[in-house]
Copies of this chain bind each other. A is one copy, B any other.
């Protein structure tokens, strides 16, 4: 219709991505596996709109502010959601009389942030969060650690470690050092220990524009976070219990960590959980346990699943106090790791069997055969061969090339002679073997090959 016109640009905008079929399959497969774990713990899904009114933020977007996709829509200023936590707070408040608490939800959805695009970071990406809202029980915290562990295992990854700390411990220590009013600045610097090292953290802590600590106080902070990494969880906990000056927050943090470590020892694989007083998590709203997850084989991906406990999720939307705990799975990082591990495996696109009616054979016979396979619970694709009196029936070579490019394992070939005999040729495209099989025995022959 527009052959005379020049062609339009067809690449996505910078920072946005098309998923090719093998990428989308891996993506959906990972989501299916992770949400199956969420579900078996009793989490239920929700959904929220991607567009929200700026009124419902009241300008308090903080760090994210200049990354928002926002515009004037009629009389309102609206924006695209930038995480799934703010929508959860709004949602819980809007449905506070309908939901039953503790409310355990998961949410998979796209979010948008106008960051500078870089490798592996997109302006439109998918988050997959889970939260338990409306309880301060440490059993909910323990459950989050279990969910993370099982979700990542469900992707076939086993060599990873959840690093655990408690913000109550951190803030208690700050208060003990007389740093209560500087806690945010201190925690922000502490959080960088892994990235920038002890010396630079100390320099930051002493920076007058940041926490501005004296060298002595900075050393006290560092003594807490820069611990001997060869200690076991029990040894490190005992060391903290002995060495830390006690106050309410320190005692609460120690008690909760003990419970989580003891519980984890009974339900998590050895070495899966590691007490780490240097974990702070930058976000201001965490108040209890905080955790990050590192793949030991791929430390360069950073934390693939992080979260923690907060005192009050939705205080800006409802007067009901809603403490909770939750985490966010870094889907793109996990998928990168899964792809890295599987890079030598053949990328099969979806299903193992294709039916190829040879040129001249009535292709409806292929549709009948496919129906028989589907009815017996077997997936099968039919090559869209045209009838012999159609404009362009496909040649056998083109069909075999298609089957090979899409990585089918088995081709069911229907020729005129086979059709007369009630048989087909079953070709193993990997082993390059071929055998004549009665149509009645085809399903079993396929099962023998693919199982």
Q: Which residues of A are at the interface with B, using a C-beta cutoff of 8 A?
A: 1-3, 5, 7-13, 16-21, 23-25, 27-28, 32, 35, 39-53, 55-58, 69, 71-73, 76, 78, 90-91, 93-95, 98-102, 104-105, 110, 112, 114, 124, 132, 135-140, 142-143, 146, 150, 259, 262-263, 266-267, 285, 312, 315-319, 349-351, 354, 363-364, 366-368, 370-371, 374, 378-387, 390-392, 394, 402, 405-406
Contacts and interface: CB of A to CB of B under 8 A. Distances in A.
Contact of A20 (B39, B98, B380): B98
A351 B93 contact: no
A135 B316 CA distance: 55
A449 B412 CA distance: 43
Contacts of A112: 51
A381 to B, nearest CB: 3
Copies per complex of this chain: 2
B124 A51 contact: yes
Given A12-B94, A367-B263, A384-B143, A1 B49 contact: no
B367 A143 contact: yes
Contacts of A315: 1-3
Contact of A49 (B17, B100, B318): B17
Contacts of A383: 102
A274 B406 CA distance: 34
B150 A374 contact: yes
Given A7-B319, A9-B56, A350-B42, A385 B24 contact: no
Given A10-B56, A101-B402, A139-B386, 16 more contacts: A8-B90, A13-B51, A20-B99, A21-B46, A27-B47, A41-B370, A41-B382, A42-B350, A42-B406, A43-B350, A50-B110, A136-B391, A136-B392, A137-B390, A137-B394, A263-B367
Contacts of A1: 285, 312, 315
A124 B28 contact: no
Contacts of A20: 46, 95, 98-99
A370 B46 CA distance: 24
Contacts of A406: 42, 100
A391 B53 CA distance: 38
Contacts of A349: 44
B385 A137 contact: yes
A144 B42 CA distance: 37
23 contacts: A5-B316, A7-B93, A8-B57, A8-B58, A9-B55, A10-B56, A11-B94, A13-B53, A13-B78, A24-B47, A39-B350, A39-B379, A40-B379, A44-B349, A50-B110, A71-B73, A73-B114, A102-B402, A136-B391, A137-B390, A138-B386, A139-B364, A140-B384
Contacts of A72: 71
